[in-house]
Amino acid sequence: MHARRQLAALALLAGLVAVPALAATDTQAPTPTRAELLAKSTAAEWRTPDPHNLLVMQLPSGRVLIELASDFTPLHAANIRTLVREHYFDGLSINRVQDNFVTQWDDPESTRDHPDPAKLKSLGTAKKALPPEYTHAINGKLPWTPLSDGDVYAPQVGFVEGFPAARDPATGREWLTHCYGMVGVARDIAPDSGNGSSLYAVIGQSPRRLDRNLAIAGRVLVGMPLLSALPRGAGPMGFYDKPSQRTPIQSVRLASELPPAQRPAVQVLRTDSATFAALLDAQRHRRDAFYQVSSGKVGLCSVEVPVREMTPTD
Amino acid sequence: MHARRQLAALALLAGLVAVPALAATDTQAPTPTRAELLAKSTAAEWRTPDPHNLLVMQLPSGRVLIELASDFTPLHAANIRTLVREHYFDGLSINRVQDNFVTQWDDPESTRDHPDPAKLKSLGTAKKALPPEYTHAINGKLPWTPLSDGDVYAPQVGFVEGFPAARDPATGREWLTHCYGMVGVARDIAPDSGNGSSLYAVIGQSPRRLDRNLAIAGRVLVGMPLLSALPRGAGPMGFYDKPSQRTPIQSVRLASELPPAQRPAVQVLRTDSATFAALLDAQRHRRDAFYQVSSGKVGLCSVEVPVREMTPTD
């Protein structure tokens, strides 16, 4: 197999490179690629996350950026900001990596069968319990971009400010969905026992059964491979059984509290933008030499909301 | 957070441990866990893969077992058996790992911009081109277990002998779906250019847009973490840009050609079994202390068809 053709085919698979259609006409122009569509986007179509909602988690391997979904889980966002300001996560670790499920980070002492209360890290002024923020009432104030392709789990799905979400008009409730890269709040059985001190990111097929059962704190914008490519834990549910396997967390900071030179310059494509709509349509309908059949559909969790990091010269 | 409760909650999350419901009655008995249901399965509910369909890929990190879907892609299965018998894959490598997409293995020379024909590994007696086996006619001979929960991408979905599949009654066609762990045949733009010498496994959210566009050779039964936890390639589309990053393939063998003592003893739960139906129902309806809301649904690619390895004492 000629590598250039293979790479071209693979690039089409990943939507990165345009290859002229074998019989292109004006009405059969090849589907624009993701790169082409993003290159044509306007500045107004990109949103800069509020630095008070942007967590910067520093690992030895690099930096993970997480945007808090403060419009959906405001109390959890506030509690996480408190923990972060008090440097709670510094020195903690990634303690659990379960294949096709989640990567979780928290106080390793809390993951033991019999945690020593004297060794558990203090939550400082952060709250130990929070009201469950699993769903909220649709209030008409948040921009809702529907996804018309349907969904197995929810009556309606769509996007709110870059976050994948679902709605049930019968109950008037709305919630965030457990797609790849979404960050949830681990808890005990008591619904108010999650407080943001233990967080997990989805690293496999979207576990949608968890929707409306846990609070979703936010979404990983940058750095997913630093969470998804870790060795899986050999203990039950993917917990590491050897402390040496745990990736240490050097620090977690709010972007707003970093010196400007260290603050990440990241933007998220607006999910109510024309470019975003064009991206979805390009996923549904593929006119190019590689695809034999267009799916005609795009699933909620198959959508990767574009993120770009600005370099200092931008 | 008390670790035992946290672990119990997390175990519930993973469906591993039963915790009595807070207000259990006979009609509100807790949902059985996956472990409980599998423990009650009968011997007849488990299928032993045909050893002629079972690939044993030996990596330095361990063994990956792949079952060929010879009822769907018989020509590709035959060609892969030829390649495997002629030890084609021995000494090749994992050359591409793209986050939330695929891990791919093949002749690294073939992945170069300008492969040296003298360095490409000979396919031996295997064919270089095969008819595209992307879908086949529904013929009534394969056991079809429908999944009634619906699907975004296909009119009907279900299972055939442990493989997730889809159907379109309007066209009378059936095909395998790109769920987590499914193994596909990489190809060039020409539909007949896939031959099984380059294979990929899905390691993230199911890329269902690929259904009906590539042949699916089979499914990883054992060893997914050996493919999913690898460092992501820094090159375009996740190709490794440094040869030292490629995981070497020590060997790939057919189970039928291994000495009995080395042959893996693995079984797959029959997807037309009562236990499998009970597992699906347990995913849809969760009556336990942790879950606030049952989804009532289960998505095709959210189903992990159970696999068990028999130890010599079994």
- Per-residue pLDDT tens over the stretch A102-159: 999 999 999 988 889 999 999 999 999 999 999 999 999 999 999 999 999 999 999 9
* Confidence bin at B269 (pLDDT 50/70/90): very high
Residue B278 phi, psi dihedral angles, 5° rounding: -65, -35
pTM of the model: 0.92
Q: What is the DSSP letter of A251?
A: E
Q: How far apart are CA B158 and CA B170, in angstroms?
A: 16
Nearest to B283 by CA among B294, B275, B271: B294
| pLDDT recorded at residue B260 | 87
Residue in B19, B134, B237 nearest the CB of A292? B134
Distances B21 to B24, B52, B62 between C-alpha atoms, Å: 5, 46, 40
Residues of A in contact with B294 (CB under 8 A): 209
Residue in A16, A109, A224 nearest the CB of B99? A224
| pLDDT recorded at residue A46 | 98
Residues of A in contact with B94 (CB under 8 A): none
Question: Best residue in B156, B188, B206 to probe A by mutation, most A CBs within 10 Å?
Answer: B188
Mean pLDDT over residues A237-257, rounded?
Answer: 97
Query: Is the pLDDT reported for residue A8 higher than 70?
Result: no
Query: Is the pLDDT reported for residue A28 higher than 80?
Result: no
Q: What is the DSSP letter of A293?
A: S
Query: Is the pLDDT reported for residue B27 higher than 80?
Result: no
Could you state, in order of their start, the residue ranges of all structural domains in chain A? 45-112+123-263
* Confidence bin at B193 (pLDDT 50/70/90): confident
Residue A214 phi, psi dihedral angles, 5° rounding: -140, 155
| pLDDT recorded at residue B23 | 36
Instruction: Please write the tens of the pLDDT for every residue from B112-132.
Output: 888 899 999 999 999 999 999
Q: What is the DSSP letter of B239?
A: B
Helix or strand run (H / E) with residue A168: strand A163-168
Residue in B114, B187, B206 nearest the CB of A9? B187
Question: Best residue in B148, B189, B195, B283 to probe A by mutation, most A CBs within 10 Å?
Answer: B189
Q: State the residue for tokens 């039963």.
A: B18
CATH architecture of B45-112+123-263: Beta Barrel (2.40)
ipTM over 0.95: no
Q: Which residues are CB-contacts of B224 (< 8 A; sequence separation ≥ 6)?
A: A99, A100, B64, B180, B181, B201, B203
Instruction: Please write the tens of the pLDDT for every residue from B128-170.
Output: 999 999 999 999 999 999 999 999 999 999 999 999 999 999 9
Q: How far apart are CA B132 and CA B125, in angstroms?
A: 19
Q: How far apart are CA A15 and CA A26, in angstroms?
A: 21
Asked whether the beta carbons of residue B8 and residue A189 sit closer than 8 angstroms, the reply is yes
Pick the residue from chain A with its C-alpha nearest to B132.
A292
Asked whether the beta carbons of residue A299 and residue B187 sit closer than 8 angstroms, the reply is no
Asked whether the beta carbons of residue A293 and residue B132 sit closer than 8 angstroms, the reply is no
Asked whether the beta carbons of residue B13 and residue A204 sit closer than 8 angstroms, the reply is no
* Confidence bin at B10 (pLDDT 50/70/90): very low
Q: Which bin fits A22, alpha (ψ -120 to 50), beta or left (φ > 0)?
A: alpha
Residue in A3, A96, A298 nearest the CB of B113? A3
Pick the residue from chain B with its C-alpha nearest to A212.
B293
Asked whether the beta carbons of residue A204 and residue B205 sit closer than 8 angstroms, the reply is yes
% chain A with pLDDT above 70: 90
Q: What is chain B's length? A: 314
Asked whether the beta carbons of residue A299 and residue B208 sit closer than 8 angstroms, the reply is yes
Under 8 Å between Cβ of A90 and A249: yes
Q: State the residue for tokens 């294949």.
A: A99
Residue in A5, A114, A229 nearest the CB of B230? A229
Asked whether the beta carbons of residue B186 and residue A10 sit closer than 8 angstroms, the reply is yes
Mean pLDDT over residues B292-309, rounded?
Answer: 95
Three-state SS at A268 = strand
Q: How far apart are CA B142 and CA B144, in angstroms?
A: 6
The letter for the amino acid at A125 is T
Q: How far apart are CA A234 and CA A86, in angstroms?
A: 32
Helix or strand run (H / E) with residue A9: helix A3-13
Rounded to a whole number of angstroms, the distance from the CA of B7 to the nearest CA of chain A is 7
Nearest to B7 by CA among A232, A128, A112: A112
Pick the residue from chain A with its C-alpha nearest to B107.
A1
% chain A with pLDDT above 90: 81
Query: Is the pLDDT reported for residue A25 higher than 50?
Result: no
Residue in B2, B11, B134 nearest the CB of A236? B11
Question: Best residue in A4, A10, A101, A103 to probe B by mutation, most B CBs within 10 Å?
Answer: A10
Query: Is the pLDDT reported for residue A27 higher than 80?
Result: no
Residue in A101, A179, A299 nearest the CB of B152? A299
Residues of B in contact with A198 (CB under 8 A): 1, 6
Q: Which residues are CB-contacts of B251 (< 8 A; sequence separation ≥ 6)?
A: B56, B57, B58, B87, B89, B90
C-alpha A274: how far from chain center: 22
Rounded to a whole number of angstroms, the distance from the CA of A153 to the nearest CA of chain B is 6
| pLDDT recorded at residue B18 | 38
What's the Rg (C-alpha) of chain A?
21
Under 8 Å between Cβ of B184 and B178: yes
